[in-house]
Amino acid sequence: MDLGSIFYEFFAQRIAERGLYGPVEYIVYGAIMLFLLFFIIFPLLDKRGVKFNTKFTLALLPYILLGSALRVLEDMSFLPRSWNPLEPAYYFVTPGIFLFIAAVTLACLFISLAISKKFKVDFYKLFAAIGLILSVPIVFFEILNFQAWIGVIEVLLLVAVTIALLVFIFQKLGKKILKPGLNKLAIISQALDGFATIVATQFFFCGEQHPLSGFLLESFPLSFVFAKIALVFVILYYVDKEIKNENLRGFIKIVIIVLGFATGLRDLLTLGVGTCL
């Protein structure tokens, strides 16, 4: 078996056939993601004085939305699809789209930093504005094509009720884990991903590409969102307790937020445009 055949079997076949993720993909993509995030992106931005706080995260959200919206355009067949990394269409599907959006985000971030320093404008507002200019037209187009408003509203209500309930419970217990802005955004992002997946797969005939998620959804659907939220609480507790570097602590939380919103918003928009109907 040559290298081309090995690559197709372990990394490309899932894209070409819209199949399930395999264990090799999880390991390789996970290792690459961790290396890029913590050995390249974090040191690069940390040295340039970027603060990974709530203001930065809110300014980053339009870029997450951009990635999710572009992915849905591919689902709607407005963008091409390819399993070949040498073709541009590869960067409209996972994992290529993560690399593409990361490159766009970093480019806009450095442009915003340069402009803000030269003209003394607010970096966060400028960075967010560029992201909104890029993402809003695509999202607006997709909203105009929504066919399943009931499903979208159902997801948003479930997320709102769950977060309100969690905030109430932790306030009564005197726990502050949901008080910091990044912690709350991390839980919201994972709740959105969880409930969007549940509604899409259980009521609108969407498929699930992740085997472990599929197992939880088949056995007890609500266990999927419970497991995601519980895992994030454990990670947040550990990060707040053990990570002394404040900027690294914020960066880890932002990674959780990005992963949750990236898939959650994609599922929500997919549900809305009706590609699963």
User: What pLDDT was estimated at residue 178?
Assistant: 75
Rounded to an integer, what distance in angstroms lies between the CA atom of residue 249 and that of residue 255? 10
Number of neighbouring beta carbons within 10 Å of residue 102: 17
pLDDT the model gives residue 216: 65
pLDDT tens, residue by residue, 172-198: 887 777 777 999 999 999 999 999 988
pLDDT, mean of residues 136-161: 95
pLDDT above 90 (res 266): yes
Instruction: Note the pLDDT of residue 4.
Output: 76
Share of the chain above pLDDT 90, in %: 70
Residues in the chain: 277
pLDDT at residue 212, rounded to an integer: 63
pLDDT at 207: 66
Q: How far apart are CA 104 and CA 256, in angstroms?
A: 19
Residue 245's pLDDT band (cuts 50, 70, 90): very high
- What's the whole-model pTM score? 0.93
Q: Mean of the pLDDT values across residues 242-251?
A: 96
Do 252 and 41 touch, CB atoms closer than 8 A? no
pLDDT bucket at 20, cuts 50 / 70 / 90: confident
With 90 as the cut, is the pLDDT of residue 33 above it?
A: yes
State pLDDT tens for residues 36-55: 999 999 999 999 999 999 99
C-alpha span between 121 and 257 (Å, rounded): 26
**pLDDT band for position 95 (50/70/90)?**
very high
Residues in Cβ contact with 27 at an 8 Å cutoff, skipping those fewer than 6 apart: none
Q: What's the whole-number mean pLDDT along residues 199-218?
A: 72
16-39 b/e (C-beta count within 10 Å ≥ 16 → b): eeeeebeeebeeeeeeebeeebee
The predicted pLDDT at position 257 comes to 97
Assess whether pLDDT exceeds 60 at residue 277: no
